[in-house]
Structure 1
Amino acid sequence: GLLFGIGMVLARGCAGRLLVLAATGNLRSVVSGLIFAVVGQMSLHGWLAPLRDRIAALWVTAGGRNSDLLREMGLPREGGLGIGLVIAVLALYLARRNRISFRKLVFGAGVGFAVAVGWVLTFGLSQVAFDPVQVQSLTFTGPSANTLMFFLERPALLQFDIGLVPGVFLGAFAAAWIGGDLRLQGFESEVNMRKAMIGAALMGFGGMLAGGCSIGAGVTGASIFAGTAWLALFSMWLGAMATDYLLDRPTGAARPV
């Protein structure tokens, strides 16, 4: 999580943001996204996989199963809904206080609902499919690597991951086209290019090691109260804050929104 948070600030965005910006014609995000996907694949099945396995084995939860925070707190399954509603009310209060527009609130909430829909649909499919179907939802680390190999390998297998990345790309492209935001953009300097490439590599390895990106761990994993997801999200926040403070603020460089 720390590695992903550091890389997220260096690359000026998480994996999902890079994918969306690439769809608008941002060549910086195209380069960073490709590096992210390649390093992610190397960390999953390639040269970096032994290093990832060695680091992951340093601290394993009891029985190798993810800890359920609701169970650890002695709360029923319905307690998750209650906690979610409290967080939603707090988010609405902060949005109102910071004068966030209604349009941004709607589309921001849409990301959260998309995660819920992903869980529901893959679970429903797993109940009727003859072959085993993994119950999952939105994340961009594994799917980016799998989508890359989908276009490189033959025969290729269609699955949830393969639909997610192109789907988000096409949706972002359509939104940019309708909004008139399509434009080619490149790197502003060699320093920015090096930062973006290093950040993308850190995100690729860190995301695979953490079991998800800021969306996969921060929204998808956190929504089912997986202990490692909350820990990864907190570590991403720490890594991003520290990198922003150490690298951006002393130089007065513009920080990502």
Structure 2
Amino acid sequence: MEEINVSHIQDTVLWATFAVGLAFGAVSHRTHFCTMGAVADVVNFGDWNRMRMWVVAIAVAALGLQSLSIAGQANLNDTIYLGTQWSWLSGITGGLLFGAGMVLASGCGSKTLIRLGAGNLKALMVFVIMGLTAYMTLKGVFGVLRANFLDPVKFEFSASPYLPEMLASLFAADTTSLTAVFAIALPLIMLAWALASKSAWNKEVILGGVGVGLTVAAAWWVVFQVAYIPEHPDTLEAAYLGTYANRAEGFSFVAPYAYTLEWLMFFSDISRVLTVGVVACFGVILGAAGSSLTEKSFRWETFQGVEDTANHTVGAVLMGVGGVLAMGCTVGQGLSGVSTLSLPSFVALASIVGGAVLALKYQTWRVERMF
């Protein structure tokens, strides 16, 4: 049996993820891909174009991952999204907090990285505070509250909360073939809705949606096809090299903020190693920086006053806490999670959108009170 070079595979995983992160950052910056902006466009102006771009990205990512799963090249049950125990109170509360936070902080986790790459110093502060509060929610004082009061409120699924399988069970006893049909049909329905409007057929929507969706699918491919080894030579167990929790990890930008800060602060500690989440953060920043420099839009930007600083600070805290509670952000749940077609991911995504809508309505109400 050929000996497995674990170190070489891990390096390949990290470099491949970094490259995908570069592409994600560049495409998102160039096409103005932004979940908060998409929701704001709908609420404030009735413009659905960026929302359609976002749905295209979800559909493309889901088609890519579901195709891998049907071909036997991805085990969706190895992700965090399809467990039978669903801490629904944490998920919904976290989604609402994250959605409100991204409005106050002028963007979600991925948008913060993109703004940082384009020279926005406000995004640097959001990154640090969000990473710190995410760590506090994972392992610190907020983590105690999460573990004792929110996470224990659970719903137990009788089987996997995999939507295609749940739908197939309503129509047939043998669900294998029908599950595969639903796995492809659901993303196609989303894609059809997104492209149903003539206004969606423009360069920005198509390139942004397809480009971002492909990078999310590519990140899944790297984890399932490159990072996975059926038997680690040290533990003799299956492993996902380069991941933080030895599980299949797609793109997400909440917990990786915390792990990035940890890696930077404990760099000399050899037990702290780079993971796919950390290198993805660096990749997105540099990809956005490259895009902004080539189109000559890079510029330094800082706070406009006390209120602006306070909004970004509070928003970063809400995103750090909420993102951990919801087990992901608009990318971690909204793209990676939903691409697994997990029911809890759809609920978390709806909660994030709901939190953003409430925050946008509140901002409008505040402005109207001033006049």
Is structure 2 residue 170 aligned with structure 1 residue 54? no
Cα distance in 2, alignment partners of residues 252 and 38 from structure 1:
34
Deviations 1:227-252 (A, max 9, x none): 22111110111111011011235406
Cα distance in 2, alignment partners of residues 151 and 210 from structure 1:
25
Contact 2:229/2:239 (<8 A) preserved: no
Q: Which residue of 1 aligns with 2:103?
A: 9
Matched AA of 1:165: C
Quote how far apart the aligned CAs of 1:49 are. Answer: 0.9
Unpaired runs of 5+ residues, structure 2, are: 1-94, 169-177, 233-237, 241-246
Is structure 2 residue 146 aligned with structure 1 residue 33? no
Matched AA of 1:12: S
Matched AA of 2:212: V
Specify whether residues 112 and 73 from structure 1 end up closer, same or farther in structure 2 by C-alpha distance, changes over 3 A only.
Answer: same
Q: Which residue of 2 aligns with 1:91?
A: 194
Quote how far apart the aligned CAs of 1:210 are. Answer: 0.4
Cα distance in 1, alignment partners of residues 316 and 219 from structure 2:
26
Matched AA of 1:48: F
Per the alignment, in what secondary structure is the counterpart of residue 196 of structure 2? Answer: helix
Deviations 1:62-88 (A, max 9, x none): 169862222222250331211111211
Q: Please report the TM-score for the alignment, with normalisation by the length of structure 1.
A: 0.91
Contact 1:119/1:137 (<8 A) preserved: yes
Per the alignment, in what secondary structure is the counterpart of residue 73 of structure 1? Answer: helix
Per the alignment, in what secondary structure is the counterpart of residue 299 of structure 2? Answer: coil
Cα distance in 1, alignment partners of residues 286 and 192 from structure 2:
32
Ranked by relative contact order (alpha carbons within 8 Å, sequence separation 6 or more), the top structure is: 1
Is structure 2 residue 179 aligned with structure 1 residue 76? yes
Unpaired runs of 5+ residues, structure 1, are: none
Quote how far apart the aligned CAs of 1:33 are. Answer: 1.4
Question: Size of the alignment, in residue pairs?
Answer: 251
Q: Please report the TM-score for the alignment, with normalisation by the length of structure 2.
A: 0.64
What is the aligned counterpart of 1:67 among 161, 173, 177? 161
What is the aligned counterpart of 1:243 among 359, 367, 370? 359
1:1-257 matched pairs, under 5 angstroms: 1-62=95-156, 67-74=161-168, 75-94=178-197, 96-97=198-199, 101-124=202-225, 125-127=227-229, 130=232, 132-133=239-240, 134-153=247-266, 154-155=269-270, 156-251=272-367
Specify whether residues 163 and 129 from structure 1 end up closer, same or farther in structure 2 by C-alpha distance, changes over 3 A only.
Answer: farther
Runs of 4 or more consecutive aligned structure 1 residues displaced over 4 Å after TM superposition: 63-66
Contact 1:26/1:185 (<8 A) preserved: yes
Contact 1:66/1:228 (<8 A) preserved: no
Per the alignment, in what secondary structure is the counterpart of residue 264 of structure 2? Answer: helix
Quote how far apart the aligned CAs of 1:56 are. Answer: 3.2
Contact 1:7/1:202 (<8 A) preserved: yes
Cα distance in 1, alignment partners of residues 331 and 111 from structure 2:
10
Matched AA of 1:70: P
Per the alignment, in what secondary structure is the counterpart of residue 197 of structure 1? Answer: helix
Deviations 1:4-54 (A, max 9, x none): 011011111101101100111111111111111111111111221111212
Quote how far apart the aligned CAs of 1:127 are. Answer: 3.3
